[in-house]
Each structure stands twice: as structure tokens, then as C-alpha cells.
A = this chain, B = another copy of it.
């Protein structure tokens, strides 16, 4: 009986995994080029650490030993993001870390949600965060989107992933604006404004009046603010025209201007100020980020994050941080499933060494060792079949080259063209493009 897949726990075929590795390698390279250190944290945290404001979300997976002693209290849960474990790691290792501490973390996370389109129970995230002791300079809020957009730009260039658009806001800006209007319960307004994409500006205005007790003028001003968006610093003037003044608003405008101006220089067209971005109930305190794949906006954000005044705290010391998380599974699973991203082959092998007869297998192994010593992924044919069958073995795996003959010299056949030529196993090199599996998109053909 063939086992059934578990809903919400996607697994790649070997070909899909080549695509994933290609992407993860490039994310890692980008993060390391920017000086982020890798860490990994354990999969589990004590359940009380996974609680939000004392309440444990129903989406947490609880982990228990099958035969745990009755009354044992080591209740653990699988982490549902990489921020909570990172905050705990910082507190636990603070004495051994150098601050500001820049780390990246690429791991799986688990959420017991009802599986549906674009929602998974197990998925991979790639996070970068910068955390400091006491205070963290504002320029890191500018730096993080540059790193993340740099990573996406590389995927766009190297692999044909559609370009992204990052939407950025600053909670200080909205909070200052609401306060400047004389509103006290700014959190309630933010929660309603967050629904603007779902229910539209008219119903948001109604809700602000009926549910948050705003006057019609106040409600309209709040909605006008949320409708401001610009790829340059012109959003500042648009906000000014709404006629509200407040120190926190000014601070938010200045911070957001810095982000937009710098991104425009380094990654033009990839970042906009969008004043409706609220990031729901997450506990951000300043800059907030959301990112969509252009043409796939309905799939939701592929990279989100923001600034925390207190990412972690041990009671005495506070650790502010800013972070961005890329949803690798959410990004790749639909694209691979639909065939939009493909690998040139499902195996690393560039060369199959044919075997004449089982007696000469040692000779074939020696040829393979010579090729491998120069970095060429090589397999030895599993059976001394007729050469036609051995070529078929390579063809079914899209292995480009088959080698005939021993270490004294042989012939190498490009099975795509049929071209066969004499070759020395101590010197022959395949074209660079054939050395490792390539990943490509099929957008342009559509």
C-alpha cells in the first residue's frame, strides 16, 4: 500500500529539492556577504515561552515523550517561528555574544493550523535579525530591507523568480498621526485599518466611527493616511497635507524617508512606502515590512518583519532588534508544484562512467575517482549492461555525459548531442554550465 502524503507537510521530489537547495544556497551567500552569522536553535521551546501575553496559541504543537512519567513537567512545544527561539538564544548566550549581534537562521517551523492554499503545518523560514543591548541604531532598519531585497534580486537574476515589491511603514508614523488627531486608543484604530485590503476604505471608515468612536472627520483622515503610498519621499508631503502635527509622527516620517531614499538608490523599483501596512497583531514598535511577489500578490507576503523595541529582555537588560523573515516554503512550493521553477536534472551527477564487465568495475571506479578529485560529480554505472542501457540510465536522470574506457584514456559522450570524443580522465572538464544542476524558470515561455 502506498502511504498517503500528510496534508500541510510538503515534501519535495529530488528535482524540487534541487530548486530549494539552489535558493537556500543563494540566501545563505547573500546573508554571509553582509556579515550575518549562522545559528540554529533546537526545534522545541518550553511551552510557556511559546505563549503570547500569557495565552498559548492553539496553533502550537505540543511534544511529549510517549512514555513520560505521569506528572512530568517538561512540557515542550515545536517553535512556530524563529523569532521566539532567537530571543531566548540571545538571553541564554548574551555573555558569549558580541553586540550588535547579526544572525541568520534557516530552519523549519511548525504550526498546527488548518492546512489550506499557502498555509503549511511545517515550513522553512530564512530569518535575518540584528539585535543590540540597550539601543539599536535606526540605520539597521534601512540595512535589513537592502539585504533582503538583494537576496530576492539575486533570485530574480539567477533563476528568473519574478521581481518582488516590499511595502514599508512605520508604526510611529501612524501612532503619532492618530495621537495628533486626539485619538487615545490608537491600537483599536490600527486593528481596523489593518482590514482595509479585505473590506475596503468605506467599511473601514464606518467601523472606525461605530466601533472605535471616531468622528467622521477623524475616520476619514485615518483612511486617507492609510491610502498614501509612494516609491519616493513624496509620501511625506502627502501626509503633511492632511494637516496633523505630532513629534512621533515627525519621527516616523523621518525614519520611513531614510528607508525609501536609500532603497531607491540601491534597489530601485523594489520598495515603496505604503502607509496601510500594519502587520496585524505582531508586536512591532517601529518599521514594519511586507513583501509580495509581483504577479503572485494573492499568495500573500513572502517576506515580513519589523522593529521591536524589546526583542528580548531579562528584566535588567533590554535587547532591541529589527528582523526580516523570508517564507521559503510559501515562496517555492507553489512555483515548483506548477512547474514554474525546474531543475536541469534531479541528481548532482554530471558523468556516468560506463562499466564494460563486472571484472573491470575497479577500473571504472578509478576513472570516477579521478574525475571527482577535480570536483566533477560522478557515478559508476550500477550494472555492466549493454552500453545502450547504460546510456538510458544516464538519460532518464538527465546526466549529460557518459564515459567509456579506463584510466589509460577513454571517450566521453555528450548524450544530448550524441557527440563522442577521446578524453583523459586526469584532465577532461565538462562545460561549467553542466557541472552542477541548473535551475530555471518557465515564465517567459508562458
Contacts and interface: CB of A to CB of B under 8 A. Distances in A.
Most buried by B among A35, A57, A64, A93: A35
Contacts of A314: 1-2
Nearest to A124: B40
A387 interface: no
Contacts of A56: 66
Contacts of A11: 39-42, 89
Given A35-B377, A61-B64, A61-B65, 6 more contacts: A2-B92, A11-B41, A14-B103, A42-B122, A66-B112, A266-B365
Contact of A97 (B14, B376, B379): B14
A336 to B, nearest CB: 13
A37 to B, nearest CB: 4
25 contacts: A1-B315, A2-B94, A2-B314, A3-B88, A3-B91, A6-B46, A11-B40, A14-B38, A14-B39, A32-B377, A35-B378, A36-B348, A42-B122, A43-B43, A43-B78, A43-B122, A44-B122, A58-B65, A60-B65, A61-B65, A62-B63, A132-B382, A143-B380, A262-B365, A266-B369
Contacts of A361: 139
Contact of A62 (B13, B65, B365): B65
Nearest to A361: B139
Interface in A60-99: 60-68, 76-78, 88-89, 91-94, 96-98
A17 B37 CA distance: 9
Nearest to A78: B63
Given A61-B65, A64-B61, A37 B92 contact: no
Interface of A: 1-6, 9-14, 17-18, 21, 32-44, 46, 49, 56-68, 76-78, 88-89, 91-94, 96-98, 100, 102-103, 108, 110, 112, 122, 132, 137, 139-140, 143, 146, 262, 265-266, 314-315, 346-349, 358, 361-362, 365, 369, 372, 375-380, 382-383, 396-397
Contacts of A6: 42, 44, 46, 76
A345 to B, nearest CB: 9
B92 A3 contact: yes
A378 B34 contact: yes
B5 A43 contact: no
A47 B378 CA distance: 38
